[in-house]
Amino acid sequence: MSGQRSCGTDGAMALLSRWIDQIVAVRGQSPRTAESYRHDVARYLGFLNLHRGAPVGRNGLGEVTSPEMRAWIAHLRAEGLSARSAARALSAVKSFHRWLAEVENLDATAVMATRAPRIKSGLPRPLSTEAARAVIADTRPAHVKPWIAARDTAVLTLLYACGLRISEALGLSQSDAPLGDSIRIIGKGNKERQVPVLPVARDAVEAYRAICPLPVTAEDALFLGVRGGRLSSSVVQKRMSDLRIQLGLPSSATPHALRHSFATHLLEAGGDLRAIQTLLGHASLSSTQIYTSLDQTRLMDIYDAAKKKPGG
């Protein structure tokens, strides 16, 4: 069996399939994330085949060099991939080679030493408190069917009032309602967290459920599309796009910006950084600390504006 896996491209691809099966079954990666990993690593294996002029098998994966890794990164950038996307692909390849080192005893030194392309750090762009409140309080009809308008409002309210990712909100089921004082969320990496639910979010969800005409069971999605299936994120993005026009909001006002707004406004109100990390479901505090930079940036903007005023 080991000899078969050592032959040509089939050997490398078979190892890739084994790794994907492992991260789904053991590490609890979502199918969507696993498919993204598969795509990135398969492209990497294809590059090695072309670069070497021959199929890369099991043994060849233990002989990857630093120049080959640099050539692969350069190839990704030449194809137009952003630094962030190239870094994501490198992360997938490193995870694959780390597994190969553990399971197949293959050398991964050159791969693990490869540095990701430098990514320009960008701060989140939250909405102001007034704009965020306007988004969830907008009473102009968004759809000819009132239940659809109520549904969209309920989703956006959950994003801002609970700091949910859009996938987390749309992943809720009818069995999660009516919402209580807190809700159990399964986030990235299949990690579970409890998120407090504000009355405004609870009321918005119940207003939607009260007029939704579609028959449902406990296993059905909480937020339904017009044909009864799980609501698509593109529908929520379209609703937010309409609100940007109606309310005169910037292009940065996306559904995910409501999650940024939740974190930023909590921090501005004196929220504890560790508590905000838990509420957002961040694995690392460094992911949450970006909001402290944002808060400092806002303070400097206020300070600079004050200096420009007469007598400032």
- The catalytic residues are 165, 188, 256, 259, 282, 291
Cβ pair 210, 227 in contact under 8 A? no
Q: Cβ distance 48 to 56 under 8 Å?
A: yes
**Bridge partner residues of 182 (DSSP):** 196
Q: How far is CA 29 from CA 37, 84, 188, 282, in A?
A: 10, 20, 8, 16
User: Interior CA angle at 286 toward 39 and 191, to 5°?
Assistant: 55
Q: Any residues with CB less than 8 A from the CB of 134 and at least 6 apart, and which?
A: 247
For the chain, counts of helices (H) and of strands (E): 15, 2
Helix (H) or strand (E) holding 294, with range, is: helix 285-308
The one-letter code for the residue type at 72 is W
Enumerate the β-bridge partners of residue 184: 194
Q: Residue 149 CA to chain centroid, in angstroms?
A: 25
Cα–Cα distance measured from residue 228 to residue 246, given in angstroms and rounded to the nearest whole number: 28
Helix axes 129-137, 146-162, angle to 10 degrees: 150
Can you list the positions of beta strands (E) in 149-280?
Answer: 182-186, 192-196
Cβ–Cβ < 8 Å for 13, 45: yes
CA atoms within 13 A on the CB side of 127: 27
